[in-house]
Amino acid sequence: MSGADRRSFLQTAGVAGMFSAMSPLAFGQAASAAVNHEVAKGTPLPEKPQHSIKFAVIGLDHAHIYSMTSAVQRGGGELVALYASDPKQIADFRSRFGDVKLARSEAEILNDKSIQLVAAAPIPDQRAPLGIRVMKAGKDYLSDKPAITTLDQLIDVRRTIKETGRKFAIMYSERLEVRAAVYAGELVQKGAIGRVIQTVNLAPHMVNAPSRPAWFFDKEKFGGILTDIGSHQADQFLYYTNSTKAKVVAAQTGNLAHPQYPKFEDFGDMMMAGNGGTGYVRVDWYTPKGLGTWGDGRLFILGTDGYIELRKNINIATDLSGGNHLYIVDQKQARYIDCKEVPLPFGPQFVADIVNRTEIAQNQEQALLAAELVLTAQKNATPPVIA
């Protein structure tokens, strides 16, 4: 398909598909009195972790490392070592997790046979090479997203997984660490909206430029906006549609509002087609300061018998505070479900996977397919057409 054809397809089929998935609530209307309100409990977790492992952390360049560490600890992980070089990053991490042993080098952690897992959030282009070293040292690996920034890195990661039998997990936190997204998965698996045929993800972010390090604005370092933010949304598309095979139909990326950062991208969208359904993704760095949070993330899941809308972080124009809001419409009624009390299963499941060599928390091939989709989209993306 030519660039012009891709753009035309994206602007017609993509937009049409997106709006077909949206509920009236997607356009900012307040929750109606006709909508039944519920509080979701979700699938309960054991009161205490069922397994234990020793793990270490390498790289503190993104704050996602905090939630990653907490998730592993909730699952029974014992944090035994840390390696990083920035004194402030180290001090901030220790203020949260205690006086963790500071290793003298990466090699000290990799050579410690008692450590079973390394969790990492260095600068994005360093994550896959680190993971390869971790797996070759006989340990499993949990990376912040994007875990892989080039297709060549992806080839190397897949080869090393096959050679070592170790795990290369990716923390797609917008699904794994968002309670509403977890509960949406439970509803989908129960057939609450029939067979899922499309997901639509809108993922705006706040750039907050003064607080960002130099690498944040360098595409070579962060991989591009679809590789970076879009990896979350590709993961959700595959998971909710239950797609095991997928391809990129069209993609656009560009820098439309930040000319002072010529290596940056602040807008991107893409369309995907899988053997379980289709998906549309829009990502950007345009969140206005007046929102009150970093991004009005929304997910729409269209099924043959109903649809679900998630408002992950905020529910604007309503009196419903905070995040984790879920709306569902089926053949009988419309419901609002508060998901703030839904347990987060990833940590316990992932630690159990490490012990049992299972794939309950995350399917390895699906995690890497999500990365492959955004890397392919990023490589083939055309500039946005602004009339």
Residues 241 and 215 in one domain: yes
Distances (CA, A) of 73 to 30, 81, 97, 143, 276: 38, 13, 10, 15, 34
Per-residue pLDDT tens for 313-323? Answer: 999 988 888 99
Could you tell me if residue 90 is inside a domain?
A: yes
Domain boundary among 171, 200, 216: 171
Q: What is the pLDDT of residue 20?
A: 45
Could you tell me if residue 352 is inside a domain?
A: no
Q: How confident is the model at residue 34 (pLDDT cuts 50, 70, 90)?
A: low
Per-residue pLDDT tens for 143-184? Answer: 999 999 999 999 999 999 999 999 999 999 999 999 999 999
Q: Residue 214 has which token pair?
A: 């130099």
Residues 250 and 341 in one domain: yes
Residues 18 and 141 in one domain: no
**Is pTM, for the whole model, over 0.85?**
yes
Per-residue pLDDT tens for 231-255? Answer: 999 999 999 999 999 999 999 999 9
Per-residue pLDDT tens for 351-369? Answer: 999 999 999 999 999 999 9
Best CA proximity match to 120, nearest among 104, 95, 139: 139
Could you tell me if residue 363 is inside a domain?
A: no
Q: What is the signed CA dihedral for 325, 245, 168, 162, rounded to 10 degrees?
A: 160
Residues 167 and 183 in one domain: no
Could you tell me if residue 305 is inside a domain?
A: yes
- Output the average pLDDT for the chain: 92
Residues 231 and 123 in one domain: no
Residues 58 and 184 in one domain: no
Q: Is it the case that residue 62 has pLDDT exceeding 60? A: yes
* DSSP structure string for 272-309: EEESS-EEEEEEES---GGGSSS---EEEEEETTEEEE
Could you tell me if residue 118 is inside a domain?
A: yes
> What percent of the chain lies above the pLDDT cut of 90?
88
For 91, phi then psi, to 5°, come to -65, -40
Residues 327 and 274 in one domain: yes
Kind of pairing, strands 36-39 and 77-83? unpaired
Per-residue pLDDT tens for 1-14? Answer: 444 554 454 444 44
Domain boundary among 127, 148, 171: 171
Residues 76 and 211 in one domain: no
Best CA proximity match to 385, nearest among 209, 245, 250: 250
> What percent of the chain lies above the pLDDT cut of 70?
91
Residues 183 and 318 in one domain: yes
Could you tell me if residue 354 is inside a domain?
A: no
Q: What is the pLDDT of residue 180?
A: 98
Give the CATH number of the domain where residue 57 resides: 3.40.50.720
Count structural domains, the chain. 2
Q: Residue 385 has which token pair?
A: 């057409």
Q: Report cis status (omega within 30 of 0) of the bond before 146.
A: yes
Q: What is the pLDDT of residue 386?
A: 73
Domain that holds residue 109: 53-171
Residues 225 and 283 in one domain: yes
Domain boundary among 109, 143, 171: 171
Residues 68 and 25 in one domain: no
Give the CATH number of the domain where residue 13 resides: 3.30.360.10
Query: Other CB atoms closer than 10 Å to residue 138's CB: what's the count?
Result: 14
Could you tell me if residue 361 is inside a domain?
A: no
Q: What is the pLDDT of residue 366?
A: 98
Q: What is the pLDDT of residue 317?
A: 84
Residues 16 and 79 in one domain: no
Could you tell me if residue 316 is inside a domain?
A: yes
